[in-house]
Amino acid sequence: MGTITFEGKEFVSKEGETVLDCLLRLGVSVTNSCKSGVCHSCILKTTSEIEGKSQKGLSDSKKKAGLFLSCQQQVADRMEVFSPDANTLFIDAIIVDQKRVSDSVVVVKVRPLQDFSFTAGQFINIVRGDGHCRSYSIAGRTGDSELELHIRKVPNGILSNWFYDEQLINEKIKISEANGECSLTTEMKGKNLLLIGVGTGLAPLYGVVQDALESSIVEKINLIHGSFTFDGLYYCERLKELEQKNHSFDYYPLFLKGDEREGFIKGDIVEFVKKFNFEASNTIVMICGDPVIVKSLKQTIFLAGVPSRSILSDPFVSKY
């Protein structure tokens, strides 16, 4: 048990409770999404001592300013916690385009209304007017002025159904700065890339493919896109076109359930990756999408001989 002083009021925690869970339970509104330390939407500020894991992935300047991930910090005996200046964490943006590309995926374009920069492969947190917040990966090239997002409608999902079902052009939202592991860096020069996306896990990798082809920083690029059903695959035509135009790029669309389809692979993505022929010692692997499959793919890739520092991933964790 411990006590949080937050904006002049005291809140008593239960045994082992995180700062986020304690404040939410006692009726304080704190932006949050994954509750796993991935999305960074739950940042608060403190002058008290905190655990290293609650600042994991934050920039040095944020660490110095006392910012921390409230979902990762257990309440200590006595903690003083503040709301950070929301204007430093979120900026205004507007939805400018919205197109369904399959029975379950909608492509949404968002225009930031203030300065914003990102590297292909990163994700942002989106906050709707009512405060609901979720993370979505950017499917565009570094420097694009509009952010393309691929959003899969999940059963009863609050934000994904809103994006899929409602007419949202000109809708105002807030977006966070961009974060994430799966981006190209100059250290990858001369390496090969193996990109594995599950469902809308294609989104960040689609941006990485475009950046990689434009910059020629890496040698060979293999993209494996897996889906449960054939209908869950999308952007197949444009990826096949990209493959035809670029000899350094190979694309493997794959689905698990349903009848065989010409030009597509039917099978389990983990089994496919186990048998996939690539140069483990010279390949950077990026894996995105469903967290359970991402975990199992990471193990498979590690056992294939890729060192863990060369395996990057952004699992699409949800707090439920």
Write out the residues near ligand FES by the rule CB under 6 A. 32-42, 69, 71
How many Å apart are CA 98 and CA 113, to the nearest integer? Answer: 18
Tally of CA atoms within 13 A in the half-sphere of 149 that contains its CB: 28
Q: Taking the complex as a whole, how short is the minimal distance between the CB of residue 224 and ligand FAD, in angstroms?
A: 17
Q: Which is nearer to ligand FAD, 46 or 104 (CB)?
A: 104
How many Å apart are CA 92 and CA 176, to the nearest integer? Answer: 9
Site membership for ligand FAD, residue 135 (CB under 6 A): yes
Site membership for ligand FAD, residue 31 (CB under 6 A): no
Q: Where is 270: in which H helix or E strand?
A: helix 269-275
Q: Which residue is nearest to ligand FES (CB)?
A: 71
Q: Taking the complex as a whole, how short is the minimal distance between the CB of residue 18 and ligand FES, in angstroms?
A: 9
Specify the pairing of strand 3-6 against strand 78-82. Answer: parallel
How many Å apart are CA 27 and CA 224, to the nearest integer? Answer: 44
Among the residue ranges 6-14, 130-138, 239-247, 294-302, the one whose residues contact ligand FAD (CB under 6 A): 130-138
Among 1, 158, 169, 292, binds ligand FAD (CB under 6 A): 158
Q: Which residue is nearest to ligand FAD (CB)?
A: 157
Note whether 165 and 112 are within 8 A (CB).
Answer: no
Site membership for ligand FAD, residue 317 (CB under 6 A): yes
Among 35, 109, 152, 174, binds ligand FAD (CB under 6 A): 152
Site membership for ligand FAD, residue 119 (CB under 6 A): no
21: partner contacted, choices ligand FES, ligand FAD, none (Cβ within 5-8 A by kind): none
**Residue 264 burial (C-beta neighbours within 10 Å; 0-12, 13-18, 19+):** middle
Residues in a beta bridge with 148: 109
Q: Which is nearer to ligand FAD, 4 or 139 (CB)?
A: 139
Q: Taking the complex as a whole, how short is the minimal distance between the CB of residue 84 and ligand FAD, in angstroms?
A: 20
Residue 199 CB contacts under 8 Å (≥ 6 apart), including other chains = 152, 226, 227, 228, 232, 289, 290
Name the residues that contact ligand FAD, by CB under 6 A.
34, 38-39, 123, 134-137, 150-152, 154, 156-161, 200, 203, 314, 316-318, 320
